[in-house]
Structure 1
Amino acid sequence: MKTILRNVSHKLVYIMPILMAAFLWSCASSTRITGTWKTPKPPTEKYDKLVIAALTDNVRARQQVETDMQAQFQARGINVTKSIDIFPPTASSKGGPDVDLLLDKLKADGYNGIITVALIDEKTETRYVPGNYGYAPMTRFGWYGRFRGYYSYWYPTLYDPGYYTEDKIYFLETNLYDESTENLVWSAQSQSYSPSSLRNASEKLAEITVSQLARDGLIK
């Protein structure tokens, strides 16, 4: 029985760091919705013609976020236009397009909703990454009864020291506004934890946002 318990203990000591590393890797990069809000009196008709506006002066980020959002909406048969296509960035428009001109353009073209995406906060988190453990293979028999065998069985441990790393956490807000009233209809706060790239975070944000809007009954 002691031999069996020792073998089980040995396997757990070997496997647990691997499982922990896999868990940390899965948590290392993720984007998820942390909260949503919907107006108590949503419109009876679903939104089917939208404009996507990423509120940032970073042209690359704006293009990526709006493109990914557009793709997710279009996959559901919803007519979507990127704000960057309506008002392309210029050297003289660092403050963004004129709001009145934007609304006049949307009304004239028959849009009924506006989706905005904004980075509202970010923070840096220090995380400790534990080292990896492993054991050299040993014969199953003859090691427990004598000190030399027992010592030789447990001692040859490979140890990779742990280290500290810094992760970025981004907090984003996505809003849906009714074009005719300009009122906020729906809002969601999202958290992107240490994204591996802008593209991966943007694609995931678009996927979960559009799915949540559909679940909340605001789009088809």
Structure 2
Amino acid sequence: MTNLKLFFFIFPMKTIQIISLFLLGTLLLNCSSSRLLSSTSDPSFKKTAIEPVLVVGVSEDETKRRIYEDTFTDSFIATDSNAIASYTLSKEGIEPDEAALREVIKKSGAKTILITHLVSADEKDFHQPDNLTIGTKSYSSGLYGYYPFIYQSVYSAGSYNSTTKVTLETSLYDIETEKLIWTARSQSIDPVMTRKYYQQLIDLFISDLKAKNLL
């Protein structure tokens, strides 16, 4: 008996469909989460602490910027590391010139500065067929039962949906030396810009900072 036939022999069709729906739900859940694409740190950085940290979110949306900075600041404080949100020192955002940045840094009294910005937001369309082919009897009906079934799913009207992959870069600089200490890139699929999303994302950054012995 082949592995595929054995699978259907052991598990009733109803059970297979339940398993399939569970796996699909798990896949969709994972797709809505965030992950680190990469991270690196400077091994020559030997200071005992990176605090106080000046947290800067670069965004055209002032509300999102404040929520992000507050969430990251609170996360640093939760690790017993002092942090300051830049919007408390510069209400309209920091202008992109050295003098403006130095002024905010001086006000903050920070030792390091953490800057997050959007790298890309890539939107892609995909076709969602009307019929779900996973875990159906099409597998056990042989070649001539399988082909018509999946053919219908491909050529059915279905619907077109889009998904957006958002990539952010977060970098930590030593203010005294002006050198990069740590940087990481994250990717999120169809994120909703709420504090909950920011918290999940920032937890990844905090965990990586700890892994790099920076917290």
TM-score scaled by length of structure 1 = 0.74
Equivalent runs, 1:82-93 vs 2, <5 Å: 82-89=85-92
Structure-1 residue corresponding to 2:125:
126
Instruction: After superposition, give the CA deviation of every residue in 1:15-67 in whole Å (9 maximum; x if it has no partner).
Output: 24413431332133111111001113113322120110001121012111101
Partner residue of 1:189 out of 185, 189, 199: 185
Q: Secondary structure at the match of 1:41?
A: coil
Cα offset, 1:178, TM superposition: 0.4
Partner residue of 1:203 out of 173, 186, 199: 199
Partner residue of 2:61 out of 32, 43, 58: 58
Higher helix proportion: 2
Count of aligned pairs between the two proteins? 190
Q: In 1, distance between residues paired with 2:170 and 2:118?
A: 9
**Structure 1 pair 165–5 and aligned structure 2 pair: CA distance change class (3 A):** closer
| Contact 1:192/1:201, CA 8 A, preserved across alignment | no
**Structure 1 pair 167–109 and aligned structure 2 pair: CA distance change class (3 A):** closer
Q: Secondary structure at the match of 2:11?
A: helix
| Contact 1:115/1:177, CA 8 A, preserved across alignment | yes
Between structure 1 and structure 2, the one with the greater Rg is 1
Q: Secondary structure at the match of 2:80?
A: coil
Structure-2 residue corresponding to 1:110:
109
1:99 and 2:98 correspond: yes
Cα offset, 1:173, TM superposition: 0.2
One-letter amino acid of the counterpart of residue 185, structure 2: Q
Q: In 1, distance between residues paired with 2:18 and 2:71?
A: 39
Equivalent runs, 1:1-220 vs 2, <5 Å: 8-89=11-92, 96=95, 98-107=97-106, 109-129=108-128, 131=131, 162-219=158-215
For structure 2, the 5+ residue unaligned runs are 134-152
Cα offset, 1:108, TM superposition: 5.7
Runs of 4+ in 1 over 6 A off after TM superposition: none
Q: Secondary structure at the match of 2:177?
A: coil
Identity in percent: 24
More moved, 5-14 vs 70-79:
5-14
More moved, 48-57 vs 189-198:
189-198
Q: In 2, distance between residues paired with 1:5 and 1:83?
A: 59
Q: Secondary structure at the match of 2:206?
A: helix
TM-score scaled by length of structure 2 = 0.76
Q: In 1, distance between residues paired with 2:73 and 2:108?
A: 17
Q: In 2, distance between residues paired with 1:97 and 1:6?
A: 66
Q: In 2, distance between residues paired with 1:23 and 1:105?
A: 44
| Contact 1:38/1:187, CA 8 A, preserved across alignment | yes
